[in-house]
Amino acid sequence: MAADARVKITLRCNECKQRNYNTKKNKKNTSEKVELKKYCRFCRKHTVHTETK
């Protein structure tokens, strides 16, 4: 079986630095770090979340 292109990533809030979300991404299509605007329950608002390890 070939190496899996989809890898598990963790998303971290850029304001409070809490790790809030786990998701997967395709490394072949998106080699750079993912940035998504998601709800942070600690800040209680929508903020930008960046990929961490």
* Among candidate residues 4, 47, 27, the one with its CA nearest the CA of residue 19: 47
What letter does residue 33 receive in the DSSP assignment? P
Q: Is pLDDT above 70 for 42?
A: yes
The β-bridge relationship of strands 6-13 and 35-40 is unpaired
The whole model's pTM is what?
Answer: 0.82
Domain boundaries, the chain: 6-52
Q: CA 33 → CA 9, 18, 46, distances in Å?
A: 10, 17, 19
* Fold classification of 6-52 (topology level): Rubrerythrin, domain 2 (2.20.28)
Average pLDDT over residues 9-19: 96
